[in-house]
């Protein structure tokens, strides 16, 4: 198997995987998005809320804020020594206290662990008018995107690598051997194909993959963890089968 990264921009990475079946490619896609844990707010206790929004709406908004995730220091609640009751090894606490007039942003959340904080500071939560107040504590835990999309790591898509087979401009397109030129090649193929100037065929075991992460974890961590989780699940399947 060969992986060639040909584009990296902000939270998005693009690469070509050569030598992988579609079944495995799709498993990798699914497990990367929803089978790698991330941190998200799961419980909110309000002590004051005189804003125009109900507690439930604010709690829902808080849950969707991506949090930087430290997989080495935290356990999933059901795998923790505390048995899921909640402790410093499986929970991060946040405090929020704000008085209007102001817009409350994700950056106003004060964390108990500087390694776990909102990825972006400028996500609006609620607008407070003069005299309105919001006071709460929130608890974040690790979870999987397959349980709730707030824990998903990002969005991965893929398509078959196109092989140019015919057309009057086919001779102009030479498949690059390395990352340099791949981006340009793929853009040119798409453009000429849309214009009807070339025809392509999908290469069966080669895919062009795009992955945009929501920022809780970096791409490398997500992909390595996805591969190890997929392998763990296959081993469990094998054992159950035996
Ligand atoms: Zn615990």
Instruction: Kindly tell me if the per-residue pLDDT of 168 is higher than 90.
Output: no
Q: Estimate the crossing angle of helix 22-34 against helix 219-241, to 10 degrees.
A: 110
Question: For position 37, what pLDDT does the model report?
Answer: 98
Q: Is 137 found in the same domain as 61?
A: yes
Q: Is 210 found in the same domain as 167?
A: yes
CATH of the domain at 79: 2.170.120.12
- How far does the centroid of ligand 1 lie from the alpha carbon of residue 235, in Å? 26
Residues lining ion ligand 1 (Cβ < 5 A) are 80, 82, 87, 89-90
CATH of the domain at 232: 3.30.1360.10
Contacts of 149 (CB under 8 A, 6+ apart): 34
- Phi, psi for 159 (deg, rounded to 5): -145, 160
- Minimal CA–CA distance to 163: which of 131, 196, 186? 186
Give the structural domain span for 17. 2-35+153-241
In the chain, % of residues over pLDDT 70: 100
Tens-place pLDDT, residues 116-158: 999 999 999 999 999 999 999 999 999 999 999 999 999 999 9
- How far does the centroid of ligand 1 lie from the alpha carbon of residue 76, in Å? 8
- How far does the centroid of ligand 1 lie from the alpha carbon of residue 139, in Å? 12
Instruction: Kindly tell me if the per-residue pLDDT of 41 is higher than 90.
Output: yes
Q: Is 119 found in the same domain as 50?
A: yes
- How far does the centroid of ligand 1 lie from the alpha carbon of residue 74, in Å? 8
Tens-place pLDDT, residues 201-225: 999 999 999 999 999 999 999 999 9
Question: For position 173, what pLDDT does the model report?
Answer: 86
Domain-ending residue, one of 92, 109, 144: 144
- How far does the centroid of ligand 1 lie from the alpha carbon of residue 103, in Å? 34
Per-residue pLDDT band for 177 (boundaries 50, 70, 90) equals confident
- Minimal CA–CA distance to 39: which of 134, 157, 133, 140? 140
- How far does the centroid of ligand 1 lie from the alpha carbon of residue 241, in Å? 32
Mean pLDDT of the chain: 96
Cβ atoms < 10 Å from Cβ of 160: 16
Per-residue pLDDT band for 171 (boundaries 50, 70, 90) equals confident
Tens-place pLDDT, residues 52-62: 999 999 999 99
Cβ atoms < 10 Å from Cβ of 226: 22
List alpha helices for the chain, DSSP H: 22-34, 55-63, 182-194, 219-241
Q: Is 203 found in the same domain as 133?
A: no
- How far does the centroid of ligand 1 lie from the alpha carbon of residue 223, in Å? 26
């Amino acid at each position: 198997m060969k992986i060639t990264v040909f584009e990296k921009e902000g939270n998005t990475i693009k690469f070509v995987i050569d030598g992988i079946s579609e079944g495995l490619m799709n498993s990798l896609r699914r497990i990367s998005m929803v089978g790698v844990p991330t941190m998200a707010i799961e419980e909110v206790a309000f002590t004051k809320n005189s804003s125009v929004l109900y507690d439930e709406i604010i709690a829902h908004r808080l849950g969707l804020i991506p949090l930087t995730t430290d997989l080495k220091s935290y356990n999933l609640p059901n795998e923790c020594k505390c048995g899921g009751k909640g402790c410093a090894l499986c929970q991060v606490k946040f405090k929020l206290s704000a008085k209007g007039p102001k817009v409350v942003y994700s950056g106003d959340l004060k964390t108990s662990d500087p390694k776990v904080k909102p990825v972006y500071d400028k996500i609006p939560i609620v607008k407070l008018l003069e005299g309105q107040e919001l006071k709460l504590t929130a608890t974040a835990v690790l979870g999987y995107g397959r349980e709730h999309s707030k824990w998903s790591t990002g969005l991965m898509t893929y398509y078959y690598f196109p092989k140019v087979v015919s057309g009057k401009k086919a001779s102009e397109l030479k498949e690059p051997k390395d990352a340099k030129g791949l981006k340009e090649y793929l853009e040119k193929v798409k453009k000429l194909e849309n214009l009807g100037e070339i025809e392509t065929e999908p290469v069966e075991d080669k895919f062009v993959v795009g992955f945009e992460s929501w920022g809780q974890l970096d791409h490398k961590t997500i992909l390595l963890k996805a591969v190890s989780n997929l392998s763990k699940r296959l081993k469990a399947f094998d054992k159950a089968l035996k």
